[in-house]
Structure 1
Amino acid sequence: MPGPHTGGVNPAEFADPAQVRAEVGALLAELKAVAAPERDVHWTQGSTAETDSARAGVDITRKAKILEQAHDVLVHALATVDKI
């Protein structure tokens, strides 16, 4: 049976497509905002390869978290549809 891992889903809990689009859109906009500074990468006074590398590590971790949140929204939405 499809979706046994989701347990019983109440039909009232079915995902609203507009809400799913809005949540994912907001997360993708946040992801774009995190990525935007990378396009303007330039060496500033006091900048070193080490500090730039550390900053890149923080950025990639933040991007991964945002993508994980978007994935969770989509998985939840699909789980509610799976029970129809």
Structure 2
Amino acid sequence: MSTPTPKPGQHLPGPPQHVDPDRIHAEVDELLAGLDAIDHDGHQAIPRQAHILERAHDVLVQALATVDKI
């Protein structure tokens, strides 16, 4: 008797979702466009850039997790 091999992402909660690559691209592009709007001379520039990059990273990680579940 063999044990079935789990599929990638099967361990993640919730039902599989649809991934729209165009939406992912648009969302990440919009976030990255915000990097240009930051005043690079201010002392808050690096934390703001880091926050934007972290949000873009989260969008990509969520997309990958969703693809793993499909």
Range of TM-score over shorter length: 0.7 to 0.9
Alignment of 1:11-26 (within 5 A): 13-26=17-30
Cα deviation, 1:10-53, whole Å, max 9, x if unaligned, reads 3xx2221000000000001001222xx43xx6xxxxxxxxxxxx
Which structure has more relative contact order (CA 8 Å, sep 6+)? It is 1
Which consecutive unaligned segments of at least 5 residues does structure 2 have? Answer: 1-5
Which consecutive unaligned segments of at least 5 residues does structure 1 have? Answer: 42-54
Structure that is richer in helix per residue: 1
> Does 1:62 find its partner at 2:48?
yes
TM-score (normalised: structure 2): 0.74
Alignment of 1:1-84 (within 5 A): 1=6, 2-3=8-9, 4=11, 6-10=12-16, 13-34=17-38, 37-38=39-40, 55-56=42-43, 58-84=44-70
Say if 1:31 and 1:63, in contact at 8 Å, map to a contact too.
yes
TM-score (normalised: structure 1): 0.63
Give the total of aligned pairs: 63
Higher Rg: 1
* Amino acid in the other structure paired with 1:9: P
After TM superposition, where is structure 1 displaced by more than 3 Å over at least 4 residues in a row? none
